[in-house]
């Protein structure tokens, strides 16, 4: 029975050259396609777009050559999903990008949409487990998914990277004079959504890496550091980069952070 190796892609992490023999898409000529390995899924933050992780994914694929972006999932405001398969017959590890049309929705709604995408991956491509990468609110959604979507119909999480994610909320009161919507309410310190997150149990077998910068005035290090209280100590790593020029949006444009993610996901 002949088998043809084709490529995949998911949105959330990176892949090393050594992993090229592990993360791939196999298609049997007489059976439905089946993905093996753990794709990396990328989740943008509050008010994010396809561009939020677009340049990082371009670097991973075309500069670092760690793999290729195989899928983009667009989630409409009503929750419908549209998936684009970008494999083009290439063999590589998988990156998947999730783009939420309603990028100001609550933690609850946004996490449900992320879960819907991941369930689609499992049901249609037999993806059993994933890595997750989230920037800002996307990191919070990744943690919330990992805590709450543990049923068999959803992929499990191997590793999770949160980049500039304010788990204690955004401390700048002026921020909420400009932003007034469901997500902004959830991002306020001591919000109901953040308090509910703290009451959940995080799985003991998922490794988590949190990255922040002293130059970030949105997700300040003091807020980012509170993630350590949600994750079992043995499974948690944290890097605070001392760089006043590394701002909130610049975090996903940093070559230094590219390398940190690569090391955590594929070289441990």
What is d(CA 189, CA 142) in angstroms, rounded to the nearest whole number? Answer: 19
Strand order in the sheet with 24-28: 3-6, 24-28, 34-36
User: What CA–CA distance (Å, rounded) separates 64 from 70?
Assistant: 16
pLDDT for residue 184:
98
Boundaries of every domain in the chain = 3-266
| Percent above pLDDT 70 for the chain | 84
**Which band of pLDDT confidence, cut at 50, 70 and 90, is reported for residue 89?**
low
- CA dist 122 to 79, 211, 232, Å? 18, 28, 27
What distances in angstroms separate CA 100 from CA 50, 75, 128, 141, one per listed residue? 9, 5, 22, 12
- Pairing mode, strands 68-75 and 94-100: parallel
Judge whether 242 and 216 are in contact, CB under 8 Å: no
User: What is the spatial order of strands in the sheet that 68-75 belongs to?
Assistant: 81-85, 68-75, 94-100, 40-43, 129-135, 156-163, 207-213, 236-241
pLDDT band at 29 (very low <50, low <70, confident <90, very high): very low
Checking if the pLDDT of 19 tops 90, the result is: no
What pLDDT, on a 0 to 100 scale, did the predictor assign at position 37? Answer: 54
In angstroms, what is the C-alpha Rg of the chain? Answer: 18
Average pLDDT over residues 164-168: 98
| Reported confidence tier of residue 13, pLDDT bands at 50, 70, 90 | very low
Strands (E), 86-199: 94-100, 129-135, 156-163
Q: What are the phi and psi torsion angles at 113 (to 5°)? A: -70, -40
Residue 35 has pLDDT above 80, yes or no: no
* Distance, CA of 228 to CA of 43 (rounded, Å): 20
pLDDT at 15: 34
pLDDT at 65: 87
pLDDT at 226 over 60: yes
Domain 3-266 is found in CATH 3.20.20.70:
no
pLDDT tens-digit profile of 147-156?
999 889 999 9
Is residue 72 helix, strand or coil? strand
State whether residue 11 is helix, strand or coil: coil
Averaged pLDDT for residues 220-225: 98
| Residue 231 to residue 208: CA distance in whole angstroms | 8
For residue 206, give both structure tokens: 């998922």
Across the range 167-178, mean pLDDT stands at 96
**Given pLDDT bands bounded at 50, 70 and 90, which one contains residue 87?**
confident
Instruction: Give the whole-angstrom CA distance, residue 187 versus residue 239.
Output: 22
pLDDT tens-digit readout, 176-190: 999 999 999 999 999
pLDDT band at 94 (very low <50, low <70, confident <90, very high): confident
pLDDT confidence of residue 2: 39
Prediction pTM value: 0.86
């Amino acid at each position: 029975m002949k088998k043809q190796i084709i490529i995949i892609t998911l949105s959330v992490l990176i892949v090393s050259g050594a992993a090229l023999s592990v993360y791939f898409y196999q298609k049997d000529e007489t059976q439905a396609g089946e993905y093996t390995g753990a794709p990396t899924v990328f989740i943008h933050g509050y008010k994010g777009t396809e561009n939020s992780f677009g340049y990082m994914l371009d670097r991973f694929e075309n500069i670092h050559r760690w793999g290729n972006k195989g899928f983009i999932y667009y989630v409409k405001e009503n929750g419908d999903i549209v998936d684009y398969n970008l494999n083009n017959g290439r063999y590589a590890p998988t990156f998947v990008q999730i783009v939420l049309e309603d990028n100001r929705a609550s933690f609850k709604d946004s996490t449900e949409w992320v879960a819907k995408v991941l369930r689609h991956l499992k049901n249609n491509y037999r993806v059993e487990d994933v890595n997750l990468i989230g920037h800002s609110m996307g990191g919070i959604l990744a943690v919330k998914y990992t805590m709450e979507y543990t049923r068999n119909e959803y992929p499990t999480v191997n590793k999770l990277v949160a980049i500039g994610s304010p788990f204690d909320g955004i401390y700048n009161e002026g921020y909420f004079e400009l932003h007034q919507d469901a997500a902004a309410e959830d991002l306020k310190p001591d919000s109901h959504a953040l308090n509910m997150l703290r009451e959940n149990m995080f799985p003991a077998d998922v490794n988590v890496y949190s990255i922040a910068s002293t130059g970030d005035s949105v997700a300040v290090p003091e807020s980012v550091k509170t993630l350590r209280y949600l994750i079992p100590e043995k499974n948690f790593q944290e890097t605070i980069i001392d760089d006043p020029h590394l701002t909130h949006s610049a975090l996903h444009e940093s070559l230094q952070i590219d390398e940190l993610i690569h090391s955590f996901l594929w070289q441990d």
